[in-house]
Chains A and B, each alone.
Chain A
Amino acid sequence: MDRNRIDIDGAKDYQRLVQQLAPKPNVARLTARAFLVGGTICFLGQFVFDWFRFRQPTEGEAIAATLATMILLGVVLTAFGIYDDIGQLGGMGAAVPITGFANAMASAAMDFRREGFVLGMAAKMFIIAGPVIVFGILAGILTGLLAWLAKAGP
């Protein structure tokens, strides 16, 4: 007990002890919940998608209308303080759909509004959504570049 700094063996040994004693996550239950919650949100999205498909001229516009509607749904559920409970229930099943993306933006905007609209709400709105956009754009450009080069190449 006479060490107060990490020595590597000690740290590894300790991590083994913690792993033995800490409750094991119930993998089956957590995964099943994520599946059900995520699946239900997508099922709902399909319903919205079909509704717009018969009312919009092109499929592209139907997709756009669907995404906007789902984002609105995510924000409304966040504003009423319901979406974090869905997150507690479904884990990644609530985070992965576009409603979770909307929740990330809205929850940050609501939370940091007290630090002002410019430095608070606007600046912090993208703390979780920002990385998704940044890496999405980087990956899109890189993939597009490779595909373009492959086509233009000899």
Chain B
Amino acid sequence: MIYFWAFVVGGLICAAAELVMIRFPRLTPGHLLVGLTVTGAVLNGFGWYDALIKFAGAGALIPVSGFGASITRGVLQETQKLGWEGLFTGTLEFVGLGIAAGVLFATLAALVAVPRG
């Protein structure tokens, strides 16, 4: 069942982003990704996005909104432990891995591959 919901929720998030893109032609995909990330981060202030991840698994985790939610999750967790310093130390708690993996793999790709177009 989780596979079904992962497909549906993940698909719906993408479809919603596509609809906004069509409606506002001056927006670029960059604007949409930023918008989704911020939405995920804000929703997780109430723990709502993590609830969605529980429900839809990768369907909520894989879209970029899950990236924003992970930042807030880290901040909330660290502020509980450390106080205000957690606002800063917590930001990359869960997403640092994604950024590091991206940097490493992208560098390797740049070493071995050329754009084809």
The total number of A-B Cβ pairs within 8 Å is: 262
List chain A residues, Cβ under 8 A from B51.
none
Contact A93 B14 (CB under 8 A): yes
Contact B98 A98 (CB under 8 A): yes
* Minimum C-beta distance from B71 to chain A (A): 3
Contact A141 B64 (CB under 8 A): no
Given contacts A25-B22, A40-B7, A136-B68, contact A125 B105 (CB under 8 A): no
- In the docked arrangement, what's the CA distance between A91 and B95, Å? 24
Q: Which residue of B lies closest to A95 (CB)?
A: B29
List chain B residues, Cβ under 8 A from A145.
87
8 Å CB contact of A140 from B66, B91, B112, B115: B91
8 Å CB contact of A148 from B44, B87, B105, B110: B87
- In the docked arrangement, what's the CA distance between A32 and B74, Å? 34
Q: How large is the interface on A (under 10, 10 to 19, 20 to 34, 35 or more residues)?
A: 35 or more
- Does B55 have its Cβ within 8 Å of any Cβ on chain A? no
Contact A41 B17 (CB under 8 A): no
- In the docked arrangement, what's the CA distance between A25 and B6, Å? 28
- In the docked arrangement, what's the CA distance between A97 and B63, Å? 4
Contact B59 A42 (CB under 8 A): yes
- In the docked arrangement, what's the CA distance between A26 and B29, Å? 18
Q: Mark A108-147, 1 if CB is under 8 A from B, else 0.
A: 1111010000000100010011011101110111011111
The 7 A-B residue pairs whose C-beta atoms are closest, nearest first, are A42-B10, A38-B14, A39-B11, A144-B75, A140-B71, A45-B58, A34-B18
Binding site for B on A (CB under 8 A): 25, 27, 30-49, 60, 63-64, 66-68, 70-72, 75-76, 78-81, 84, 90-93, 95-102, 105-111, 113, 121, 125, 128-129, 131-133, 135-137, 139-141, 143-148
Q: What are 25 A-B contacts defined by CB distance under 8 Å?
A: A31-B18, A38-B63, A39-B6, A42-B59, A45-B61, A45-B62, A46-B2, A46-B6, A63-B61, A63-B94, A64-B97, A67-B98, A67-B101, A71-B98, A81-B116, A91-B18, A96-B17, A96-B32, A98-B64, A100-B33, A109-B107, A113-B111, A136-B95, A143-B72, A147-B45
Binding site for A on B (CB under 8 A): 2-3, 6-15, 17-19, 21-22, 29-30, 32-34, 36-38, 41-42, 44-45, 57-59, 61-68, 71-72, 74-76, 79, 84, 86-88, 90-92, 94-95, 97-99, 101-103, 105-117
Q: Using A107-B115, A110-B106 as known contacts, list a sample of 5 further A-B pairs with CB atoms less than 8 Å apart, ordered by residue number in A.
A: A35-B11, A45-B62, A63-B61, A137-B92, A140-B74
